[in-house]
Amino acid sequence: MSALMRRKIRNALVCNLIAGIILVVYLAAPAHADYTFSPHGYKGDQNVGNYVQDLLGAGATNNNPSIADKLGADVCQDLVSGWSEARTINYFITQANVTRNQSKIIVWGAEWHFCLEYY
């Protein structure tokens, strides 16, 4: 399979994931939010439950570990593919309609739990 085809498939999957985030995980900013990142668990723990707790702390309303696991894997894949942290954060802001601070928690949490070489 060509690199272009893999990229198109990946983009389609990411779009579906983002639609799921918008519909299922909808991240709404709390009125008195403190976005200091204090992750659950330890660095590199590969623990989806801890990542879910991080997302809930950022305002997620759904605690589905399957969605969080896919989200974390996608963030790590973006970074492995050469995306910068800033580009990945901006991607979620524009495509998932989350705030900058929420997007930071999505990315930083994934880095902390699953792709610690980028944290």
pLDDT per residue over 56-88, tens digit each? Answer: 998 887 889 999 999 999 999 999 999 999 999
CB 118 within 8 A of CB 111: yes
pLDDT per residue as tens digits for the range 22-61: 544 444 444 334 457 889 999 999 999 999 999 999 888 7
pTM over 0.75: no
Number of other residues whose CB lies within 10 A of the CB of residue 78: 22
R_g of the chain computed on alpha carbons: 14
Contacts of 54 (CB under 8 A, 6+ apart): 37, 39, 40, 105, 109, 112, 113
At 110 the pLDDT is 96
